[in-house]
Structures are given as C-alpha cells and as structure tokens.
Structure 1
Amino acid sequence: MKLTLFALTFLISSFAFSQEKIVWSDSYKVSFNDFQSRESEVNSDLSSYTLHSGSIIEVDLTMSNFEFMVKKDFNNRVKSILDQRLALLAAPDTLTAKKLVALAQYDFDLSELYARKIRKEFYEKKGTFSDVKLFQDIYEKYNRELVEKISIIFKATSTEENDVFLQNEHTKVLEEISRLSDFCFDCKVPKKKKNRKKG
C-alpha cells in the first residue's frame, strides 16, 4: 500500500492552466476517470494499492507592484485543483478502487477548505504595504496543517478500513467549507458596512 501526499504549490510567476487541471466546485465529483496517470489501473495481480490524489493548492501572485499594493481580495488568486495528470490510482479490485476514489474526494475537498482558510487570512491580514513574505508565512502555516491532517486521515482509513470514519470526517470538512462561503474561488468578499454617526 502506498499513499502519496501532495504539498501546496506556491506560485509567484504565472503558470499554464490546462484542461487536466480541475478547479474545485461543490458539484464536481472525483471519479476513476480523473486518474490519468499511465500507472492507474485495477488489476487483480496487484498485492497492494497506490493512491496519488492529484489535489494541489496553487497561489498565483503575478501582478504589478501597484496592483498588489491596493488589492485586498485574493480569492481568485488561490486555486484548489485536481491535476489529472498527477492523479494515480492502482488497486487489486473495484471495491478497493471505489474506497480510494472516496478518499481522493475527501482530499480534494480538504484542499478546498484549506484554500479558503488561506484566502480568509490573506484578506484579513493584507495591508497596503504588506509584502509577499506575509503570504508565504500564511501559506506555509496552512501547508503544515493540511499535510498533517491528510496524513492522519490516510493512516486511519488505511489501517482501520473504516468507511464510516471517513464519511464523518468528510462531513465535517464540507460543513467547514460552507461556513467559509465568502472565501470561495469566484466569490467577492462582502465589504463591512461602516457605522454612521447620528448627528
């Protein structure tokens, strides 16, 4: 059995975005077709299984100095994606493959949750004279948390083979995603209304 964790990808230069990169949405469901690595297969000759989820968070801060200085909302600069070219699933039977797809869906949703946490903290801490280091520090903090969380879940599900456990953890992630609805990829963070003094 082999499970590979993908760390976040922090980009300060532009990157090519291809059809193989699926941006997270609540309507998209991971399927076996997403695992486009050549090594992906269901084969009874296998004695173990392999999962590379392909879930990655990309941060793109390509902009002019002035744009960066005045920009406050970075929601659309932080992408939670599933890179189908990196996604690999190899299992000895369809039942195991189905469980691995469920685990990959959890991983994709968990990445979106941490993308929203990053967007939220970017928004709350970005000042006019902030520099890129602030973003790197925020990114690295959530990167550590994400990798630790995924490691715990992957270990628990692989040793206990507990479908109910994964479902419960997945429900918690989806609830947290919902609570951070202002920080989805294509959302505009609502501006706080200023209290007017009564004269």
Structure 2
Amino acid sequence: MRKTASLLFLFFLISFSLLAQNDVEWDGKYQIQLSDFQSKATQIGNVNTNSIQTASGLNFSIQMSNIEFMFTKNFNSKVSTTFKRESALLIATDTTTANRMVKFAQYEFDLSELYARKLRQKLYLNKGAFSDISFLQPLYDTIQKEYVEEHGEASKKTNLGQKEEVLKTLNEDVLTRIQEFSDFCKSCKPPKKKK
C-alpha cells in the first residue's frame, strides 16, 4: 500500500513538472522558437494558408481572504504573462514564412507583458482602502480591449510578421514601453506615493 502511494505521488509530481515546463513565463530574455509550437496541428509545408495561435497572454488570479484583499495594494505577483507551448499552433506554407511568424509570436508575447504591466499599474493606482473585488473587472476589461486593438493593428501592418522591418520597429517600441513600466514587473514593488 505504501509503495503504491509513493508511486502515485511520484507520478503526480512528474506530471506537474512536465505541465510546468510547457508554460514559459515572460522574463525579458526567453525568445520563442519554432520548437515551442507543440500543438499536434502545427504544420509547415503542404498547406495553402498561414495561421498562428500563440497561446500567449496575460493571466490574473487572486486567492485571498477579504481582510487580506483589503490590506493588499500591490497585485504585481498576481498578474503574469505566459506562453503555453502545447497550445501554440503554427500553420505555414514554408519554413521562411514560419520563422517570420515565430517573430510575430515573440512580439505578441512582449505585447502581453506590456499590457500585464499596464494592468498591474492600474490595479495599484485604483485600489482604495475599502475597494472590493468588483473594482478589478472594469480595469481588466479596459486593458484587454486596448491589447486586442493594438494586436489587431500589428497583425494587419505586419501581415502576421511577413513584413519584417515593420515588425521589428513595432517590437522595439513595445520593449521600450515595457521599460517605462519598470516598477510593475511581476516581482517588483511599486514606489509608495509621496504625500
């Protein structure tokens, strides 16, 4: 019985670590590669169309008591940007097109982090002493809308990354704007407001 329980525990531990390896958290260093598109539907060549589903985005999760919530001002650690490898899908007519689409996926990943930082800042600035959890949703909705609009424009302007110079310019702009929100990285503590 003990042996079975130990084996079962080991199985869950291995399964959990394998799942965690499929998620890449944004750190400013990791560059998405073609091998990160691990969906079984990923295909390069023998297709007539190009399509990409990067499975990157910002996530917000919060689990705390009402009292904890009331005394929490910094929600930076509760907002994360991840890329989910096993959900990432890429369909491309050829390898050159695929590699350009991978660069677009990196842009999306960076753009997600920019909007995660914007959300962290909005949460920090708008959380009052007596705010309840309902204050979060309108802020998230606003950020999500802005993200979708900017992403859509970039998709059109770059033709999903096929216009490499345009994409490079857009991505450099996003990285510059990320630095403007340096106090709102996931592990950062924003400076206290001066009285």
Matches of 1:193 and 1:53, distance apart in 2: 41
Give the equivalent residue in structure 2 for 1:30. 32
Structure 1 position 36, deviation (Å) = 1.0
Deviations along 1:91-148, whole A, 9 cap, x unmatched?
A: 1211001100000000000000000000001001101111122111000001011011
What letter corresponds to residue 95 of structure 1 in structure 2? T
Structure 1 position 160, deviation (Å) = 9.1
Q: For structure 2, list consecutive stretches of 5 or more residues without a partner in the other structure.
A: 1-15
Identity of aligned residues (%): 39
What letter corresponds to residue 36 of structure 1 in structure 2? Q
Give the equivalent residue in structure 2 for 1:99. 100
Give the equivalent residue in structure 1 for 2:23. 21
2:156 equivalent to 1:155 = yes
Structure 1 position 150, deviation (Å) = 0.7
Structure 1 residues 18 and 189: CA distance shift in structure 2, 3 A: same
Structure 1 position 193, deviation (Å) = 5.1
Matches of 1:161 and 1:110, distance apart in 2: 18
Deviates more, 1:108-117 or 1:53-62: 53-62
Give the equivalent residue in structure 2 for 1:66. 67
1:41 to 21, 40, 43: 43
TM-score normalized by the length of structure 2: 0.86
Matches of 2:90 and 2:162, distance apart in 1: 17
* Secondary structure in structure 2 of the residue aligned to 1:18: helix
TM-score normalized by the length of structure 1: 0.85
The 5-angstrom pairing of residues 113-152 of structure 1 reads: 113-152=114-153
- Flag the structure with higher helix content: 2
Bigger Rg over Cα: 2
Matches of 1:113 and 1:160, distance apart in 2: 19
User: After the TM superposition, which parts of structure 1 deviate over 3 Å for at least 4 consecutive aligned residues?
Assistant: none
Matches of 2:194 and 2:187, distance apart in 1: 21
Matches of 1:190 and 1:159, distance apart in 2: 38
Deviates more, 1:16-25 or 1:65-74: 16-25
Deviations along 1:61-119, whole A, 9 cap, x unmatched?
A: 11111111000000000011111122101112110011000000000000000000000
Matches of 1:58 and 1:159, distance apart in 2: 23
Structure 1 residues 98 and 126: CA distance shift in structure 2, 3 A: same
Structure 1 position 176, deviation (Å) = 0.3
* Secondary structure in structure 2 of the residue aligned to 1:85: helix
